[in-house]
Each structure stands twice: as structure tokens, then as C-alpha cells.
Structure 1
Amino acid sequence: MSQSPSAPLPAEIRATRPLTVVVAACTRRRPKMLERLLGSYAALEVPENVTPIFLVVENDETARSTEVIAAFEDKLPGPLHAVLETVPGIPMARNRGLVEAAALGADLVLYVDDDETVAPDWLTEIVAAWRGGTAELIGGPVRLTEPQAPLSGPQKTVFDGMVKRFATKEARAVDRMKAGQADRVTVVTNNWLCDMRLVRDLGLRFDEALQFTGGSDTKFFRDARAKGVETGWAPAAIVYETVPPERLTLPYQYTRGRDQSATSFGQKVAEGKWASAATSILILLPLKALSLVLIALSLPVTRSYGLVSLFRQAGWIAGRLTRLFGRASKLYVKTTGN
């Protein structure tokens, strides 16, 4: 006889119960970035009644980050575990992290990316968002930091545009949460807290069919919402992303917009959401094309932000059109950064 899924914890229990929290990151051939992330963990505040465990999931044929990880084993405010997931693909690595978190007895599992660092109060703020509400899947802001290598003029222009774009997304998320529109704030793994009830009782996993396309965390979010999971936002839980210089080009912005659009459209079709897929082609596509013209005309005013938006928008249009003819995204076949 199958057991019914457990209900979310009552608020009075969430507020005070001792928690085991697994802080996880997936990595692949980016030792310098991983080193910076682990260094930021070393400065983390640990909130009361929280036992943190740190986890690195290396997604490669062989372990290449052993020395970097070993250097931090005695420097973090909790034990550090490392596992190797040899099947390539971000969802495979993320799912391995969920398995390991369950084995470590986690109440909550948190994800950040290996090209990020966390603010000293990040853990305090994101756990407080869980304790103080009823959401079981919670996201937070990502802000950009400039690479340590000197940037060319064009790279600096793209970077400035991306900073403004991220700030706009952050402000929009706050406004939507205040308006009671949590379903319109997508929670993804660059700053992510998940109650393990979702994994243990609801059976949520990252879709491994999206091996190299990206989008498995967005689908996790949609699957959670479809099961009635409440999602939330922790506006003061800040992480910082370091952008590799090779991403600071307009062609890369176009490619990223194209591949994300193609993946989104492909998921709608795969899930049988024909009305949504048709709307995105018949209605949104012409509107996006009109918006592209308006963005181009506003460039003298919007400058770097408008330039990045122009190439992202063009990528969105191209992604929808190319996916109609069967082209799938391969966004994460190649690793960028070090």
C-alpha cells in the first residue's frame, strides 16, 4: 500500500526546528571559480539551529578538483563532501546532488552555481525566508561581478548592459512577489532552496532529457507549481556571479537567448501545451519582432542595456523559429570560464 505524501510543516515547527542544510554546487572544469565559491563559504554566518553540510558534485570523466576541494576541508563552517558524477549533463549532476543530500539527512538542499560567490549573510537570509513563510521552493537575487581580467571596450559595454538587465530582473521579482504573483517568479538553481519534502515525498527531479539544453531547473519549478508547491523569494539572500570574459560578447548574448527560447518552446511541445506553444508563435513572436524594432530605436537612450536586450530579443525570436524546424539547444555542451 503506497504512502500518501506528507503535508508541508506547520509554521510554528518551521520557525524553530533544528535543520540539516546541504549547500550544493555542481562543477565542471572551472577550478578557479570553484575556489572562489568555496572561499566565500568560509566566511558564511551560520544561523541558529542550522547544521550546514557542503557538497560539491563534479561532473566529469574523472575528478579534477580534488586539490581545490581538499584545501577547504578544514576552513568551512561545516563538513565538505565531494562526489563524482560521470554521466555528463547538468540535470544528471543536480540529481546526484539531491541523492547525496538525502543520504546526508538534509531537511533543506540549497544550490548555487560554481561561477558564483555568496554573501556572508546569504545562508541566514535564505533559511530565514523558509522559516518565516510557507514556501518550499525559494529563490533569490543574482548580481554580477566583473571578471578579474581586464575587459576590452566592447566587453565592458556588454557587462554594463548585463548588470542593468540583472538589476531589472531583480526589481521585477520583488514587485511580482509583493503583488502575490509567485508563479511569475521562476526559481532556478543559481540561488535556490528546496525543502526535501519535494524530493522525498513528491518525487520531483531535474529532467535528464534536458541533458545539454539547459532549462531543467525551470522545468523543476514548473513541475513543483503543478503539484501545488508554494514558491517564494528571499530578496536579501544575495549571490554574486562572475561572468567569464568569453560570455561578454553580443554574439554570445544572442546565442544564449536563442537557446533558452528554443528550450522553452521545446518543453511546451513535449508537455503537450499546444495552446501555449501556439500563442508563443502566433501572438508573442510578432510582438517580440515589434519590440525588437522599438529597442533598436531606443538605443541612443538605453545604450548598453538596450544593446544587450536587442541581441537577447533577436535570439528569442531565432530560438522559436529554429525550434519549429527541429533544432535543439546545445547551450551546455561546452564549458566556459575557468
Structure 2
Amino acid sequence: MKIAVCIPTRARPELLGSCLESLARLSVPDGCAVQVIVVENDVSAQCREIVSGASELWSRFGEITYHHQPRLGIAIARNTCVRLSIDSGADFIAFIDDDETPEPDWLLKHISAQEFSHVHLRGGPVRLARPDRTRGLLDRMMQASLLNRYEAVERKARKVSTRSDSGATTIVTNNWFCSASVFAEHGVWFNEALGMAGGEDTEFYKDCKRRGLRTGWVEDAVVWDHLPVERLSPLYQFRRARDQSNSHFHLKRRLGELSRPATLISVVVKGISLVVFSPLVLIAPTHFLLRFLRTSGWIVGRVQGVLGKRSAHYASVTGS
């Protein structure tokens, strides 16, 4: 069995270096070969030396592929990773973000689950790592709020998902393990028309479900998310929620699952809920600040979608 571990990256050499260091500590069962593929999606190549200098990773696996993809777009970068994986003969393709680090048994858990129940696509939990630095009380407050959110997402996934059925849990590419046959045989690919909007992994998951492909969840295949300190700002969290809402609106419209009147009704309902719990932000900001920001962003993103505007969330980069 050959597994390609793929990392799209853009303008974040320090985070990429930490990610590559963590991959060198991965455990792999006998009979499995691992290839690490890094696709730098940027106008100019900046990270080639980071990859070539990852000596522990080279000595651990001996097969690392670096590819510069100057055509910008997160879906373009992902599809480039997939094509390189398939060309190298990979049976399975795993994705991890460049600001994440996996537990040493991350691949072991996914492989073990695949042997237990054969599915086409699997996901696993993403946990929030403590940032190396914060800029004050507001950062710490946002960190606590985000930690609550990450934990709530994981608790829900544990309740509704199993190794052989992901249930209501959407599998996204920050912890993702997929059979190469999904691309080569079933023809599911990331939608490059999305450009800088994001949401390509959600659309990919929905495409898999529509085709009747099996999906699962591995509750102990854990990766850690190392958020750049810039993402602890309330403005960033508002923008992220806004852009996610916008991308989700356009996805549901493409699938015929949403109408403008229904959207406007949901905006009104969300707006009422926002007014109701707004005072709670002052009383318990750790619990309600992030919810307030995300609800506000959701409303704005939906309104932008109704007006025809599209997100460009990945046009800018946070972290280094």
C-alpha cells in the first residue's frame, strides 16, 4: 500500500517547516510506503529550500516531492497534489494543512480504520493547539472561545459518526484520507472554478455522497491546528464566518438546495437570535463573543450571496 501525504502551502515557510518536522515522527505499519508531496501555490517559489532542508523527513521516508504551482487557487493546488499522487502510484491520498501537525499515530489510525471497514473517504478530529504567543486579553479570550468551538465540533462528530459512516459530519481537508479511486475511477475532483473562495472540500464531500461513495470518521486520528496569532482577532473570525457563509450559499444554490426567499427568512431568524444573545457577550464573552462574531458573519455572507457577491477568502494569507 502506498500513501501520499499532501500539503498545499502558500507564503508560510515557518509553519510549513513545523508541519514537515511533525511528519517525520509518523508511525507507518509494515507493508506501507509513504510519499510526502508539497505543492506551493504562489506566484513565486519560496519554500523549495524548506522542503529540501527537511533532513529528518528525507531520512524517514526518502521520497518527498516538491512542486511549484503558480496558478493561484486552493482547489488548483489540491488537484495538483492529487495528480502527482496518482502519477506516483499512490493507493490513498491524505491531506493536512501547512499550519497543522499530526499525532505520530495519525496515519496508523486511518490505515487501521480502512482495514476495519473499507470506505472511500475518511476524516478525523482537528484540535486547537495553544499559540506560541498572544497579544493580550482579547487574544486569550478568543483562544478560549475557539477552543470551546473545536471541542464542540469534535463532540458532535463522536456522537453522529463511525468508522464506516461519517453521518452528518462533513469531511474537510484539514484531516482527510481518501482512496485514489475516488479520482481515478469515480471522477470526483476539487472544483477549480471556485478560485479563491474556498469551500472546495465541502463540495467534494457532497459530490462523494451524491455518487453513493462511502465515508467514515476516525475519532482517534488526531491533528493539531496551530492558528497564526492574526486569526485570533475578532475581525478575522467575522470575515472567516462571512466568507464560509457566502461559499456555502453559492454551493447550495448550485445544487438547487436553496432559494433567495428561504435565505432571507433565515437571515431574519439569525438576526433576531443575534439581538437576543448580544447582551450575553458582555456577561460571558468567552462563551458568546465568537458566537456573536460568527452569527454576524453568517448574516453578512448570506446577504452578499443573495446580491451576487462571491468570497475571496484565500486571496490573502495569515501566518508566516
TM-score, normalisation: structure 1: 0.89
Q: Per-residue CA shift, 1:92-121, capped at 9, x if unaligned?
A: 000000100100101100000001111111
The amino acid of 1:26's aligned partner reads: P
What is the aligned partner in structure 2 of residue 212 from structure 1? 196
Q: Distance in 1 between matches of 2:278 and 2:65?
A: 49
**Does structure 1 residue 260 correspond to structure 2 residue 257?**
no
The amino acid of 2:316's aligned partner reads: K
CA contact (8 A) 2:162 2:216 kept: no
What is the aligned partner in structure 2 of residue 312 from structure 1? 294
Aligned residues: percent identity? 32
What is the aligned partner in structure 2 of residue 289 from structure 1? 271
The number of residue pairs the alignment matches comes to 318
What is the aligned partner in structure 2 of residue 71 from structure 1? 53
CA contact (8 A) 1:41 1:76 kept: no
Q: Distance in 1 between matches of 2:89 and 2:60?
A: 19
Q: Per-residue CA shift, 1:198-225, capped at 9, x if unaligned?
A: 0000111100111100100100000010
TM-aligned CA deviation for residue 180 of structure 1: 9.0
**Does structure 1 residue 53 correspond to structure 2 residue 18?**
no
Matches within 5 A, 1:142-221: 142-177=126-161, 182-221=166-205
Q: Distance in 2 between matches of 1:128 and 1:199?
A: 22
Greater shift after overlay, 186-195 or 122-131? 122-131
**Does structure 1 residue 27 correspond to structure 2 residue 12?**
no
Name the CA shift for 1:183/1:222 in 2 (closer, same or farther; >3 Å): farther
CA contact (8 A) 1:58 1:84 kept: yes
How much is the aligned-residue C-alpha RMSD, in angstroms? Answer: 1.9
The amino acid of 2:17's aligned partner reads: E
Q: Per-residue CA shift, 1:242-301, capped at 9, x if unaligned?
A: 1111111111111111111011111222333345x654433x333322332343244466
What is the aligned partner in structure 2 of residue 322 from structure 1? 304
TM-aligned CA deviation for residue 75 of structure 1: 3.5
What is the aligned partner in structure 1 of residue 319 from structure 2? 337
Gaps of at least 5 residues in structure 1 are 1-18
- Structure 1 stretches of 4+ with a deviation exceeding 6 A read none
CA contact (8 A) 2:163 2:218 kept: no
Greater shift after overlay, 265-274 or 78-87? 265-274
TM-aligned CA deviation for residue 148 of structure 1: 1.6
CA contact (8 A) 1:165 1:305 kept: no
CA contact (8 A) 2:113 2:163 kept: no
The amino acid of 1:337's aligned partner reads: G
Q: Distance in 2 between matches of 1:334 and 1:43?
A: 31
Gaps of at least 5 residues in structure 2 are none
Q: Per-residue CA shift, 1:148-192, capped at 9, x if unaligned?
A: 234311111111110110110011111111599734110000000
Q: Distance in 1 between matches of 2:181 and 2:246?
A: 31
Q: Distance in 2 between matches of 1:180 and 1:301?
A: 42
Equivalent residue for 1:138, pick from 122, 132, 154: 122
Q: Distance in 2 between matches of 1:78 and 1:48?
A: 16
Q: Distance in 1 between matches of 2:127 and 2:31?
A: 28
The amino acid of 1:20's aligned partner reads: K
The amino acid of 1:159's aligned partner reads: Q
1:203 counterpart SS class: coil
TM-score, normalisation: structure 2: 0.94
Q: Per-residue CA shift, 1:7-45, capped at 9, x if unaligned?
A: xxxxxxxxxxxx100000000110000000000011111
**Does structure 1 residue 87 correspond to structure 2 residue 82?**
no
What is the aligned partner in structure 2 of residue 99 from structure 1? 83
2:313 counterpart SS class: coil
1:291 counterpart SS class: helix
The amino acid of 1:332's aligned partner reads: Y
Greater shift after overlay, 125-134 or 327-336? 125-134
Q: Distance in 1 between matches of 2:206 and 2:284?
A: 33
Q: Distance in 2 between matches of 1:250 and 1:86?
A: 31
What is the aligned partner in structure 2 of residue 12 from structure 1? none
Q: Distance in 1 between matches of 2:163 and 2:40?
A: 39
Q: Distance in 2 between matches of 1:117 and 1:236?
A: 14
